[in-house]
Structure 1
């Protein structure tokens, strides 16, 4: 049996993106519990801003994560995290404006998020998930096999 070429970049990016979204949502919830604050504390934004921000961040994470996985360099995780943070901030503003909030309120919410613990949670989550995706793409492991499936045992 030939050594595996690793997990295909699209599959590794898919799993990393799902992991990023799950970890970010968990991290936001846990941080909210610990700090007794809301992720987006401005009530005029509604839920649309948070949903839009997470969707935009996940899409940017997937796109930049795919590129980082294809390159196979772990430093790419930092660039993925930076792009994901920027996308989340833009998503807050865009989501707030799309849901009918005053643009000044939406931009203010971006500023509040940018100086909160939630930004750190999002940055760490994006970097860890991107690193895991890159590691998954670089692995040379193959699927597990039963002893009788191995080619060297057939002789």
Structure 2
């Protein structure tokens, strides 16, 4: 959920700062954008989940998760645009603008930051905080 929240924030703030829409195509509804985020979250989760299952996860997993999230977003937008009635050339044009514009890098950065944080938490073996009276006598 942190990834989705960071993506929505990143896309919203970048859209506000540049005064442009993420997908600015007449006749195209919001469905491809939403579908792209859903598919992106699934791709991100799949790669990060697989990377976190190993005993000592590598931070390189964050790069793979970022790449998977960006590619999955573009694929999700294209599939949703085509299935919503837009011709394949228009869908390819939308995906091309997303890939070379600012949207795909925003998604990749959000995925990298979120994956890196998840790997860091797992590698440090972080535990929930405990009050002094909750500790065993053998703990320091």
Scaled by the length of structure 1, the TM-score of the pair is 0.83
Where do 5+ consecutive residues of structure 1 fail to align?
1-17
Verify: 1:93 aligned to 2:74, yes or no.
Answer: no
Verify: 1:33 aligned to 2:16, yes or no.
Answer: yes
List structure 1 runs of 4+ shifted beyond 6 angstroms: none
The answer (yes or no) to whether the contact 2:70–2:105 under 8 Å persists in 1 is: no
Aligned to 1:8: none
1:51 & 1:37 partners in 2: Cα distance?
Answer: 17
The answer (yes or no) to whether the contact 1:45–1:106 under 8 Å persists in 2 is: no
Aligned to 2:53: 70
Compute the displacement of 1:101 (Å): 1.2
Aligned to 2:90: 105
Number of residue equivalences: 137
The answer (yes or no) to whether the contact 2:62–2:115 under 8 Å persists in 1 is: yes
Q: Any idea what the Cα deviations from partners look like across 1:12-67, whole Å, max 9, x if unmatched?
A: xxxxxx11110001100001001111101112221110011000000111111101
1:30 & 1:97 partners in 2: Cα distance?
Answer: 28
Scaled by the length of structure 2, the TM-score of the pair is 0.92
Verify: 1:116 aligned to 2:104, yes or no.
Answer: no
2:36 & 2:105 partners in 1: Cα distance?
Answer: 16
Aligned to 2:65: 80
2:126 & 2:72 partners in 1: Cα distance?
Answer: 33
Verify: 1:60 aligned to 2:43, yes or no.
Answer: yes
2:118 & 2:81 partners in 1: Cα distance?
Answer: 31
Compute the displacement of 1:136 (Å): 2.1
2:52 & 2:127 partners in 1: Cα distance?
Answer: 18
2:128 & 2:6 partners in 1: Cα distance?
Answer: 26
Where do 5+ consecutive residues of structure 2 fail to align?
none
Query: Over aligned residues, Cα RMSD in angstroms?
Result: 1.5
